[in-house]
Amino acid sequence: MTASHANSGAIPPILLIGCGRMGSAMLSGWREQGLSPSFAVDPSPTASTFAGPDLTVVADAAAIPESFAPSAVVLAVKPQNAAATLPVYQRFAGSSVFLSIMAGRTIAGMAALLGPTAAIVRAMPNTPAAVRQGVTVACPSPAVTPAQRDLCDRLLQAIGAVAWVDQEALLDPVTAVSGSGPAYVFLLAELMEQAAIEQGIPADLARLLARQTVSGSGALLAASPEDASALRVAVTSPGGTTAEALSVLMAPDAWPRAMSGAIAAATRRSRELAG
């Protein structure tokens, strides 16, 4: 696994396929760095709102001029649309790298639609990408050059941290941890809010306490060089209230078993859905 570093300079021409939540989040990050004249394809009526001097938005691949030569084709459509969407972009396989953020679409599955020699990067981002606080794990196919990998790294850094792996199989547990992980954290906020109400705290105050405790603790973790376990120990006085709560949560049959089982179940499901 390797972590990456930010680059500078304008982003070269990109072809963005799918301008939904993820595609548009990346686009706004690229624009901050200066996006060279690029194209986006999206049939949705709202997609044209993303057009600007740096970006032409078209509803269909047929409207992309023959002369347009993107450095990267970013695949940000729903996985179930891959088979119908990808083959028309085969013509870019010789000169571009395909960067896919589609959940569960394997490099082999995409190569079957884009051609066996296509340079493909399969990446798994997560929803905090919407506020540039995501984490993406990326895996290159053998055809990806170092320059193409660097470009994909820059494109993904627009939505948060990036890590690279060479073993594609790791993307199943990655999906279970960071891809699905935001849902576990949101569930934590929900359950804390419910438990606060059970203890007599008014609903609006319970909501504030749960949200701010989860988001504030996340910010503290992000700002601290210490491990999560060290931060936990630092707020746990022997014999105090936190220790009492943790004796419930950290019992072997409680959170340790639940989290381990949840991530194992999500990893299995990711393998089942891959294609």
Ligand X SMILES: NC(=O)c1ccc[n+]([C@@H]2O[C@H](COP(=O)([O-])OP(=O)(O)OC[C@H]3O[C@@H](n4cnc5c(N)ncnc54)[C@H](OP(=O)(O)O)[C@@H]3O)[C@@H](O)[C@H]2O)c1
Q: With contacts defined by CB under 6 A, name the span among 79-87, 110-118, 193-201, 243-251 that binds ligand X.
A: 79-87
Residue 29 sits in the site that holds ligand X (CB under 6 A): no
Residue 186 sits in the site that holds ligand X (CB under 6 A): no
In the block, residue with structure tokens 């690029």: 38
The order of strands in the sheet holding 55-58 is 2-3, 160-164, 134-140, 119-124, 97-100, 72-75, 14-17, 38-41, 55-58
Least gap, CB of 1 to ligand X (angstroms):
19
Residue 200, classified by CB atoms within 10 Å of its CB into exposed (0-12), middle (13-18) or buried (19+), is exposed
Binder among 14, 15, 22, 196 for ligand X (CB under 6 A) = 22
Nearer to ligand X, 128 or 196 (CB): 128
Residue 41 sits in the site that holds ligand X (CB under 6 A): yes
How far, in Å, CA of 106 to CA of 104, rounded?
A: 6
Q: Is 201 helix (H, G, I), strand (E, B) or coil?
A: coil
Q: With contacts defined by CB under 6 A, name the span among 28-36, 72-80, 228-236, 238-246 that binds ligand X.
A: 72-80
Residue 78 sits in the site that holds ligand X (CB under 6 A): yes
Nearer to ligand X, 56 or 236 (CB): 56
Nearer to ligand X, 62 or 223 (CB): 62
Cβ atoms < 10 Å from Cβ of 50: 17
Nearer to ligand X, 46 or 95 (CB): 46
CB proximity list for 240: less than 8 A, separation 6 or greater: none
Residue 63 sits in the site that holds ligand X (CB under 6 A): no
Binder among 109, 115, 125, 160 for ligand X (CB under 6 A) = 125
Q: With contacts defined by CB under 6 A, name the span among 27-35, 95-103, 145-153, 209-217 that binds ligand X.
A: 95-103
How far is residue 161 CA from its own chain's centroid? 9
